[in-house]
């Protein structure tokens, strides 16, 4: 009798774990990116972050200056204060994805 209950509990837990994985995978497939426009204010190599002054991002953030991590190491190394950038951001993810430098100001 105890073995039957034990097996049922294990099957129930496996089913719950499977459903959690299914919903998690579905969320990542349906994540929609938001177009991001901003100007790099500073770059922190130690923390792998860039502080960016950005325009309002509907459904994501009001206009302001925020710190973001960068998804691509090579792109991060090329960022300089004053760069105008375009990127993709995702809700609840403080990371800039697919960054493109669209204008680089000359150093003074």
Do 70 and 48 share a structural domain?
A: yes
CATH code, domain with 40: 2.40.50.320
- pTM for the whole structure: 0.69
In a domain, 38, yes or no: yes
pLDDT tens digits for range 35-48: 999 999 999 999 99
In a domain, 108, yes or no: no
Do 85 and 54 share a structural domain?
A: yes
Who's near 102: CB < 8 A, 6+ residues apart? 84, 85, 86
- In this predicted structure, the answer to whether residue 80 has a pLDDT above a threshold of 50 is yes
What residue numbers bound the domain in which 12 lies? 1-30
pLDDT of residue 28: 47
pLDDT tens digits for range 48-57: 999 999 999 8
* Overall number of domains in the chain: 2
Distance (Å, rounded) from C-alpha 97 to C-alpha 58? 17
């Amino acid at each position: 009798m105890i073995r039957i209950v034990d097996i049922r509990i294990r099957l129930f837990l496996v089913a719950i774990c499977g459903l959690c994985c299914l919903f998690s995978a579905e969320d990542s497939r349906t994540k929609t990116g938001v177009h991001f426009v901003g100007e790099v204010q500073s770059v922190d190599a130690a923390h792998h972050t860039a502080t960016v002054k950005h325009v309002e991002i509907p459904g994501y953030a009001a206009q302001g200056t925020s710190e973001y991590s960068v998804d691509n190491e090579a792109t991060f190394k090329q960022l300089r204060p004053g760069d105008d950038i375009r990127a993709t951001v995702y809700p609840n993810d403080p990371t800039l994805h697919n960054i493109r430098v669209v204008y680089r100001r000359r150093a003074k």
